[in-house]
Amino acid sequence: MSQSAISVVWWRRNCHRTGRTRSSTPSLARRHRCARPNAASSSSASAVRARFPTTASRRWCSRTKPRPTRRPTNSARNILPNCARKPASLNADGGPPLALSSGDPSGIGPEIALMAWADRKRLALPSFYVLGDVALLKGRAAALGIDIRVQETAPGEASDAFDGALPVVPLENRFLDQPGLPNAANAAGIVEAIDRAVADTMGGAASAVVTCPIAKKPLYDAGFAFPGHTEYLAHLSEKATGRAVTPVMMLAGPELRAVPVTIHIPLSEVPRRLTTAAIVETATITERDLAGRFGIAAPRLAIAGLNPHAGEMGAMGEEDETIVRPAVEALRAAGIDASGPLPADTMFHAAARAGYDAAICMYHDQALIPAKALAFDETVNVTLGLPFVRTSPDHGTAFGIAGKGVARPDSLVAALRLAKRLADGRARAATP
């Protein structure tokens, strides 16, 4: 039997396990897109006013019907960052606010934070405060025509201020207010915001860290020595606790959770850097956090192959037989429900996704392309393996549209919601 035939049998078996068949799997509903203004024919301020029709909320979206949720599942599997699923109140049980780092000020981070707060009541957002530059946020709001109050505050006062103003905990480093023009001079403030968000969360002043996007080049130009957000968060965790951690990136959306084993390295280096031990460690951390934070009692992992058709039994590369398959066998031996190596080109359609709770992928784009293609505006970057909850929008700084009033806060909204849910779940799990 060919490898592709084996994969089909595997998927059918797993669909049967969940009570789903190919014929009974509902098709994905067409996504409802909000109308966007033409930036070329309107000013930034008027573009935002067109999308935010009321002064109080400046609504950025007017959906006629909600996006359908994922396949029917038990409540434990229903912790998803779905923009359409709005609870009555995410702050009903209180708790510390979320700490939101402002990201690169030349990108869209400041404006999506403003937009999210402006629509907080309709979206039932949890309370959060921004670690940023008060003057820049006020100036950006004025430039975009977003009529909101920005209030300087302390973390402990943020929840009380949240209903009437966007709480901002000021940084010692100031930012240059130049939308679309990244500058290494902003690096100190960008890093300070991350440092303080982590310190606040680990100290109990905040319940979780949510980070707006950063760009690597300006940070590298200023001497930043880490590949990206994820690795730097691991460094801060180790510095605070004295214990080494392995951070794992997960893209969590309403249709898919995907985890890359290798992350920010050139594709040409992936075969050399990929190891059985790395796959086992990444999958083990994923399984542990799916159970401990997402509340999934018995997580199921689908392990992707590296090569086309998962190597076709060695005909298209040996790595799947010599590296990936031994990892899957080790995971099974440890009691983890893992299957693979599986051809990546058949792992991400609806019937296949019904058979697992997370896909473990071998490299960055193998995980991020399907995650973003399925739900770009609603997918959230979650860092697993840390002693605190961290989420982020799944997009970058978007320098090309910064300050133009056309950015969408959807992914940040999803990141705030998921951070709150994961933090609450972690708190409940820690309560005797």
Task: Please tell me the distance from the alpha carbon of residue 129 to that of residue 36, in angstroms, as a whole number.
Answer: 28
Task: Please tell me the distance from the alpha carbon of residue 357 to that of residue 224, in angstroms, as a whole number.
Answer: 35
Instruction: List residues forming the annotated binding site.
Output: 229-230, 264, 309, 364, 372, 381, 390
Instruction: List residues forming the annotated binding site for substrate.
Output: 229-230, 372, 381, 390
Half-sphere exposure of 178 (CA within 13 A, CB side): 9
User: How many other β-carbons are positioned within 10 Å of the β-carbon of residue 333?
Assistant: 9
User: How many other β-carbons are positioned within 10 Å of the β-carbon of residue 260?
Assistant: 24
Q: Look at the block and give the residue holding tokens 């398959």.
A: 325
Q: What is the DSSP letter of 274?
A: -
Q: Is 301 helix (H, G, I), strand (E, B) or coil?
A: strand
Task: Please tell me the distance from the alpha carbon of residue 2 to that of residue 313, in angstroms, as a whole number.
Answer: 9
Instruction: List residues forming the annotated binding site for a divalent metal cation.
Output: 264, 309, 364
Q: Look at the block and give the residue holding tokens 């302390």.
A: 154
124: alpha, beta or left? (left if phi > 0; alpha if psi -120 to 50): left
Are 293 and 383 in contact by the 8 Å Cβ rule? The answer is: no
Long-range CB contact pairs, 261-269, < 8 A, 24+: 261/360, 261/361, 261/362, 261/363, 262/362, 262/363, 262/364, 263/227, 263/228, 263/230, 263/364, 264/227, 264/228, 264/364, 265/364, 267/363, 267/365
- Dihedrals φ, ψ of 201, to 5°? -70, -45
Bridge partner list, 168? 130, 152
User: How many other β-carbons are positioned within 10 Å of the β-carbon of residue 35?
Assistant: 8
Half-sphere exposure of 10 (CA within 13 A, CB side): 20
Rounded to the nearest angstrom, the gap between the alpha carbon of residue 103 and the centroid of all alpha carbons in its chain is 14
